[in-house]
Amino acid sequence: MHSFEYRHGELYCEQVPVSRIAKEVGTPCYVYSHATLTRHFRAYDGAFKDIPHVVAFAMKANSNLAILRLMAKEGSGVDIVSGGELFRALKAGVPPSKIVFAGVGKSADEIRDALKAGILMFNVESSAELRAIDGVAASVGKKARVALRINPDIDPKTHPYISTGLKKSKFGIAADRALEEYKLASSLDHIEIVGVHAHIGSQLTEVTPFVEALKKVVALVESLKAQGIGIQYLNVGGGLGITYSDEKPPLPKDLAEAIFPLVKDRNLTLVMEPGRVIVGNAGILVTRALYQKDGEAKRFVIVDAAMNDLIRPSLYSAYHDIRPVSESLLARPKHSVDVVGPVCESGDFLAKDRTLPEVKPGDLLAVMSAGAYGFVMASNYNSRPRVPEVLVKDADIHVIRARETYEDLVKGETIPSFLS
């Protein structure tokens, strides 16, 4: 469910015509729906109401301060993977007690900042990292709360770049070494074991991989208990998929129903790290057609958005539905086209071999399901300023990130005096 639909002959976001947003802030631009964001969070949080739990929004999916504040006001924590994300989360008012720090390459400075902030826990990915956290915690006179991330070697049946729970993945500790690593953790003076963590991948469209991974993790919890190592938090990660095209992913309530029998009566608090499932279909990228070009073998629609604005199609061959903002375009003759941007790369495309109504210069298009891993992965490649982000609530437009200027592109750069 999302709040982007045709009304009065054009695409609306809640009560605002998308064409009005394009007129006021220009194109390209990202547009998010407040109603969709809150509805998705509440659906996920509410699905687990019968289980003690913490929702830690995976902010790598969308880290705009306004989105994070919205999540915090709804009661969410966040899953972070860098010091910069920690800074953003705190700036947005996320309680440190609901912040979980994941990632394989935490630096000493990042660990120190997180300890000083008083985060809920670190998801630890290796024995080397465990010792590093112990050392930093000793230097600041604190104990670090940790959960070891276990790699259960479960195939999530998703894109290989976003599969994280297989043996060949860089993430986590092999399940057959978990007991040994927990014994190491229990021997370190400045480490407090509080949890177990597993996250097997993103854009999962079946419940079965979640269940199979959780079975292994629950068995580990029981083994740890027998060794005298108590666990308070069971972090099941995130990864629930969304509909981009014809996928039919499970709903949060389906996941909750599958998980509940495995965790009930275990005196554990679940930690969950949903990202895409909350923000993915809550955002679109609005772009304007510049040219139509008939090549020798293909027809191209050249638009003002590019791979630097939304890299998922180029990086993952990801599908994003593309809709005309004006509903009248749907009556035009249809053609198979590549929708491409101005970036000087053959890999710069938003869609390939896509059947669309004829698109003429000036027409507005909406690239759907762009709320997750859209702006956060944007770059300044080809010295293109990053685009604005807009949050719509009811009939109001809120610019939550201004469009960058050319001056922003060179901020922080200097020309040495010897080149004067």
Give me the active site residues, please: 344
234 vs 272: CA distance, rounded Å: 9
DSSP code for 386: P
80 vs 19: CA distance, rounded Å: 35
201 is in an annotated binding site: no
Strand order in the sheet with 4-7: 4-7, 10-13, 16-17
Question: Treating both helix axes as pointing N-terminal to C-terminal, what angle do 178-187 and 208-226 enclose, rounded to 10 degrees?
Answer: 50
DSSP code for 204: B
Instruction: Look up residue 114 and give its two tokens.
Output: 């997180």
User: CB-based contacts of 270: which residues, under 8 Å, 6+ apart?
Assistant: 48, 51, 52, 53, 54, 233, 234, 235, 236, 259, 263
CA distances from 363 to 19, 22, 29, 119, 320 (A): 10, 11, 15, 47, 18
373 is in an annotated binding site: yes
7 is in an annotated binding site: no
129 is in an annotated binding site: no
DSSP code for 359: -
416 is in an annotated binding site: no
| Backbone Cα Rg of the chain | 23
Residues facing residue 204 across a β-bridge: 240
371 is in an annotated binding site: no
109 vs 416: CA distance, rounded Å: 29
Strands (E), 160-265: 173-174, 191-197, 233-237
24 is in an annotated binding site: no
- Go through 101-130 and write b for each residue having 16 or more CB atoms within 10 A of its CB, e for each that does not: bbbbebeeebbbbbbeeebbbbbbbbeebb
345 is in an annotated binding site: yes
233 is in an annotated binding site: no
User: CB-based contacts of 339: which residues, under 8 Å, 6+ apart?
Assistant: 300, 301, 303, 322, 349, 350, 351, 354, 356, 365
Residues at the annotated binding site? 239, 273-276, 312, 316, 345, 373
Residues at the annotated binding site for pyridoxal 5'-phosphate? 239, 273-276, 373
Residues at the annotated binding site for substrate? 276, 312, 316, 345, 373
